Amino acid sequence: MLNVVVLVSGGGTNLQAVIDGVESGAVTNTRIAGVISNNAGAYALERARKHGIASKCVSPKMFASREEFNEKLTEAVGEMEPDLIVLAGFLVVIPPIMTAKYQNRIINIHPSLIPAFCGKGYYGLKVHEAALSRGVKVAGATVHFVDDGTDTGPIILQKAVDVEDGDTPEALQRRVMEQAEWKILPRAIDLIANGKVSVTDGRTEIRK
């Protein structure tokens, strides 16, 4: 049984997709051990509570320094004994102490087809604004392992969606979430939970 800890910052629709996947049986061999947010007001915490999942807020505002926050975040995650940490819209930089402790055991969902529109400054709606500004015809989402870079770890799954004439950033964001993010994040967790993902030379091998 894969013990999963989900880190969130906002509305939690990706968390909800994972919860629904586990509860429906689509995501097998997996237990959501807890949800942690840096934002006390994150609706994602309410989603966890509604499903009886342990939840906690660990915010940088609670500590005198970023170093102390990093330590407390790592401690809070460790207390939930994760086999896998899932960043589902988590907007805080993961400290090196965590990426070192959980090498290839932290995954992130990014709302573009990496390496497009990723890296520093590309998050949330900004990703879709940049895609529309460039005039791309295909957008999508990526699940990848987290390393010390920003959106640079080994890619696990990707899913493309069409950009439609007249798309606003909000419309494109919604389509990428509905048609890509909410499908590939649960799927990636199920693959990992069943030992079907390995990493060699910075690239994944998926045994579907």
Q: Which residues are at the interface with ligand GRF (CB under 6 A)?
A: 8, 10-15, 44, 88-89, 109-111, 124, 177, 181
Secondary structure (3-state) at 12: coil
DSSP string, 56-108: EE--GGGSSSHHHHHHHHHHHHHHT--SEEEEES--SPPPHHHHHHTTT-EEE
Nearer to ligand GRF, 33 or 180 (CB): 180
Minimum Å gap between C-beta 89 and ligand GRF is 2
Minimum Å gap between C-beta 178 and ligand GRF is 11
* Residues in Cβ contact with 128 at an 8 Å cutoff, skipping those fewer than 6 apart: 111, 139, 169, 170, 172, 173, 176
128 is known as an active-site residue = no
CB 140 within 8 A of CB 158: yes
**Residue that has been written with the tokens 């069409």 in this structure:** 162
Kind of pairing between the strands at 2-8 and 30-37? parallel
Minimum Å gap between C-beta 109 and ligand GRF is 5
Residue at shortest CB range from ligand GRF: 89
Nearer to ligand GRF, 168 or 198 (CB): 168
Nearer to ligand GRF, 139 or 192 (CB): 139
Catalytic residue among 51, 110, 128, 144: 110
Nearer to ligand GRF, 32 or 109 (CB): 109
Q: Which residues of 121-135 are buried (b: 16+ CB within 10 A; e: fewer)?
A: ebbeeebbbbbbeee
Minimum Å gap between C-beta 174 and ligand GRF is 9
* Residues classed as catalytic: 110
